[in-house]
Amino acid sequence: MRALVTGVAGFIGSHLACELIKRGDSVIGIDSFTDYYPRKIKEKNIESLREEKKFSFIQADILETDLSEILSRVDCCFHQAAQAGVRKSWGKEFEIYVKCNILATQRLLEEAIRSKLPRFVYASSSSVYGTVEVLPAREDTLLNPLSPYGTTKLCAENLVSLYQQNYGLSSISLRYFTVFGPRQRPDMAFHRFIKAGLKGEEIEIYGSGKQTRDFTFISDIVSANILAAESNLCGAFNIGGGYRITLLEAVREIEKAIGKPLKIEIGAEQKGDVQDTSADITKAKKELFWSPKYDLSAGLSLQVEWMKDNLL
Ligand code: UGA
């Protein structure tokens, strides 16, 4: 296929583009290098891609570039670009979340219609759920985001759905549950914990450490995207690792993976942080024929290896 990957220099976008190239697909990658984390990390993410003949890179902001010309040349758009991070989305930062997550998605959808784009895959998030009464969360659970970030991801997911209903855009939303693995964003828990462990520094656990997460390995996210692109299914699908553990249990697994104990400091609970996430992945298994292949320890050892070589 000919694919457009937005946010191609990010954690998920870069892995997805690498896999598409490996399969023989051609990829146009777009990224504006927002300053959420250092540009040199993102440049490194796409270093090997830049050597590929079937990869072309456009440095641009989705809101400011001629998208119709780009979209008319592809079969599928994987929309991974976003202002990420749950805990930073309060206060004046919210404006950036609205711009990057809502306005940019709406612009992309408008241009997708105009260019008759055949398929649109949207990177949604577990944070659209918020606090859920019955876990694991199914796709038809009441959506009640707890953070401003989650609200913007839900708004964009709703936009994707209404362009499908009103204009017939073939689209699907994948709700990712806390993704980890090589190139994980530097603000995320596992990245911070492994880095601190390797350097002998302290980690800070927000709250009791009893919050639970459904952690998902990056390769499983990539395979879900490719299956989603190749199907004609519409609507939202949970993409989660299929297990739920506390943050403290995850810390014990990281200690095993790096071979030494972590120095833990307990910090304050963070506003917007959901206490528990857990994905019911029955729908993705049944309809998308997707299932996660990596458990926590397999994924963590790959992330630790990567981090040893990339202690930026
Ligand atoms: C992650 C991503 O950062 C979001 O972009 C994404 O949308 C979301 O997953 C998702 O599932 O959709 P989060 O679950 O907060 O959000 O991921 P982490 O940053 O890895 O945090 C996991 C847990 O560790 C949270 O409870 C957080 O408060 C905690 N944490 C994080 C710490 O205790 N200490 C830290 O230094 C960092």
Whose CA is closest to 234, among 277, 171, 291? 171
Is residue 209 left, alpha or beta, with left meaning phi > 0 and alpha meaning psi from -120 to 50? left
Catalytic hit among 122, 129, 149, 176: 149
pLDDT of residue 311: 79
244 and 135 Cβ atoms separated by less than 8 Å: yes
The torsion angles phi and psi of 24, rounded to 5 degrees, stand at: 100, 5
At the top level of CATH, the class of 2-179+218-241+278-293 is alpha beta
pLDDT of residue 312: 64
Q: Is 221 in the pocket of ligand 1 (CB under 6 A)?
A: no
Give the pLDDT of the chain (312 residues) as one tens digit per residue. 999 999 999 999 999 999 999 999 999 999 999 999 999 999 999 999 999 999 999 999 999 999 999 999 999 999 999 999 999 999 999 999 999 999 999 999 999 999 999 999 999 999 999 999 999 999 999 999 999 999 999 999 999 999 999 999 999 999 999 999 999 999 999 999 999 999 999 999 999 999 999 999 999 999 999 999 999 999 999 999 999 999 999 999 999 999 999 999 999 999 999 999 999 999 999 999 999 999 999 999 999 999 999 876
For a mutational test of ligand 1's pocket, the pick from 206, 239, 249, i.e. the residue with the most ligand atoms closer than 8 A to its C-beta, is: 206
Taking only the tens place, the pLDDT of each residue in 241-286 is 999 999 999 999 999 999 999 999 999 999 999 999 999 999 999 9
Helix (H) or strand (E) holding 189: helix 189-199
CA distance 95 to 98: 5
Taking only the tens place, the pLDDT of each residue in 7-39 is 999 999 999 999 999 999 999 999 999 999 999
Q: Rounded to the nearest whole angstrom, what is the distance from the C-alpha of residue 65 to the centroid of ligand 1?
A: 31
Cis preceding linkage at 292, omega within 30:
no
* CA distances for 295 relative to 215, 217, 241, 283, 292, angstroms: 9, 8, 7, 19, 8
Domains of the chain, residue spans: 2-179+218-241+278-293
Beta bridge partners of 272: none
On the CB side of 213, how many CA atoms lie within 13 Å of its CA? 23
CA distance 305 to 101: 32
- Is 149 among the catalytic positions? yes
Q: Rounded to the nearest whole angstrom, what is the distance from the C-alpha of residue 83 to the centroid of ligand 1?
A: 14
User: Three-class SS of residue 210?
Assistant: coil
